Amino acid sequence: MTPSSPVFIFDAFGTLFDVHAVAREHAAAIGPEAERLSGIWRSKQLEYTWIYARADRSGPLVVPGFREITRASLMYALSLCGLDAALAPRLLESYQRLPPFPEVRDTLTQLKARGARLAILSNADPDQLDDLVSNAGFDGVFEHSISVAAAGSFKPDPRVYALGPEVFGRPANEMMFVSSNRWDIAGAKAFGYAATWVNRLGLPDEYSDLSAGRVLTDLAGLLTNASQ
């Protein structure tokens, strides 16, 4: 690994870790609304972060951490689906040990073996991110685990994307930002990163003025021309 080694900065949720695994794990307890619950939970979780990313911090507003946002969005989803709020503690506990997607471990191992420098840039609170990494057995894989808490905001606030150049001491256009969330790719591109969209769901492209750059179906595609 040298100062010129390729740098990959990964989003966590939906990119490295499967956010819908919780609903599958507890499908029997949740019942037929499991898939719907998971979708609403995730969409509200993101919606809340976008609102707080734009919030005026000069007033009395206290911006919650991602753990609280995750809890609040789950409570909304449970209510909307007509489900018992007593389910929340076990679902939130499972959220702390989200499994990585099947190809993630091997891909990260091979990238690191080739000399790449790896980091996570996530909305997760610092301790939440540490738990995810540790519970997945990824200790020592990432040179940096970067929480948005260091910027006091959430994606897609430019202050969040600025954390990558700060920790690596390199301009954004010399680093590859990798996310399964197209809006996250758009935010990273607007900041100046090279970017790879991991389009796990086969969604149509959008944000035509903020090109996704490389488009992959899973993370393993990074092993082709990994220096890009």
Tens-digit pLDDT profile for residues 96-120: 999 999 999 999 999 999 999 999 9
Q: Residue 3 — very low, low, confident or very high, per pLDDT cuts 50/70/90? A: low
Spans of all domains in the chain: 7-18+98-223, 21-95
Q: Are 122 and 19 in contact (CB under 8 A)?
A: no
- Which residue type does 122 have? S
DSSP reduced 3-state for 6: coil
Query: In CATH, which of 3.40.50.1000, 1.20.1370.20, 3.30.710.10, 3.40.50.2300 is domain 7-18+98-223?
Result: 3.40.50.1000
- % of the chain at pLDDT higher than 70: 95
DSSP single-letter state for residue 225? T
Burial of 113 (0-12, 13-18, 19+ CB in 10 A): exposed
Q: Taking the mean position of all CA atoms in its chain, how far away is CA 179?
A: 7
- The pLDDT tens digits for 138-183 are 999 999 999 999 999 999 999 999 999 999 999 999 999 999 999 9
CATH number given to 21-95: 1.10.150.240
Helices 66-80 and 34-53 cross at an angle (nearest 10°) of: 140
Q: Taking the mean position of all CA atoms in its chain, how far away is CA 159?
A: 16
Q: Residue 61 — very low, low, confident or very high, per pLDDT cuts 50/70/90? A: confident
pTM score of the predicted model: 0.94
Q: Residue 55 — very low, low, confident or very high, per pLDDT cuts 50/70/90? A: confident
Cis peptide before 156 (omega within 30 of 0): yes
- Which residue type does 192 have? G
Structural tokens at position 37:
């619950």
Q: Is the pLDDT of residue 1 over 60?
A: no
pLDDT of res. 111: 98
Catalytic residue positions, numbered: 11
- The pLDDT tens digits for 5-26 are 999 999 999 999 999 999 999 9
Q: What is the Cα–Cα distance from 160 to 148, expressed in whole angstroms?
A: 6
